[in-house]
């Protein structure tokens, strides 16, 4: 069982760290420092058109949604992502947290920081960024939200960055490091998280536990 005591996250990062950001509302207390080369939100391995229903959840093994012991000084409701562990935690207080298994960014696309949930969307649309279209010109320029959309059933947008917590039509990728910096959950799990996490929620992203 993972026990984690987090230290305060540094704030006031320079505006130059936001070159890869979208024009979303500036609600974050402090912006993360993503890799400068990252300008995309999907990975080569994603499969547009593959159907995975909203109900798919991880129900067995370490990545199944479950309540766990979790030490943190953060207030209840805070979302804490531990990329190295492949887990997302929602702090519940009293030394406990609700834990979800996630897929994370592959090497070179991982990042850490402090943001807020600035926007939420059900069955979000997908527009592949130019960098991805250069590598995969056969991809659609736009895909409406739905079961075949690589963004999955729900999306929580992180501050003013290009990154988000979202579902996936590839639930078998949970626990792997394959994305381009976003955090993916099985559709059933991201739908559950979506209902629990309101706009403005603080999200802390770390590569590994801090003792």
Q: Is 207 a catalytic residue?
A: no
Rounded Cα gap, residues 176 and 155, in angstroms? 19
Phi-psi region of 184 (alpha: psi -120 to 50; beta: other; left: phi over 0): beta
The active-site residue, picked from 3, 21, 166, 207, is 166
Whether 49 contacts 75, CB under 8 Å: no
What token pair was written down for 210?
């801090």
Q: Characterize the bridge pairing of strands 96-101 and 154-158.
A: unpaired
- What are the residues whose beta carbons fall under 8 Å from the beta carbon of 128, sequence distance 6 or more? 40, 42, 136, 139, 140, 141
What residues does 114 pair with on adjacent strands?
Answer: 204
Q: Characterize the bridge pairing of strands 202-206 and 79-82.
A: parallel
Enzyme catalytic residues: 166, 182
């Amino acid at each position: 069982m993972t026990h984690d005591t987090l230290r305060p996250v540094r704030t006031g990062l320079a505006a130059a760290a936001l070159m890869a950001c979208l024009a979303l509302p500036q609600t974050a207390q402090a912006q993360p420092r993503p890799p400068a080369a990252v300008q995309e939100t999907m990975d080569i391995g994603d499969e547009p058109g593959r159907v995975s229903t909203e109900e798919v959840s991880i129900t067995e093994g370490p990545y199944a949604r479950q309540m766990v012991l979790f030490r943190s000084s953060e207030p209840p409701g805070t979302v804490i992502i531990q990329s190295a562990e492949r887990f997302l935690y929602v702090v519940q207080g009293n030394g406990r947290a609700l834990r979800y298994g996630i897929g994370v960014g592959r090497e070179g696309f991982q990042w850490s920081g402090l943001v807020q949930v600035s926007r939420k969307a059900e069955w979000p649309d997908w527009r592949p960024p130019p960098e991805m279209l250069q590598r995969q010109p056969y991809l659609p320029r736009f895909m409406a939200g739905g079961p075949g959309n690589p963004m999955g059933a729900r999306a929580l947008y992180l501050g003013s960055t290009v990154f988000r917590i979202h579902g996936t039509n590839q639930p078998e990728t949970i626990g792997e490091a394959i994305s381009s910096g976003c955090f993916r959950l099985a559709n059933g799990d991201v739908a559950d998280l979506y209902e629990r996490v309101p706009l403005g929620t603080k999200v802390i992203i770390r590569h590994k536990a801090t003792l």
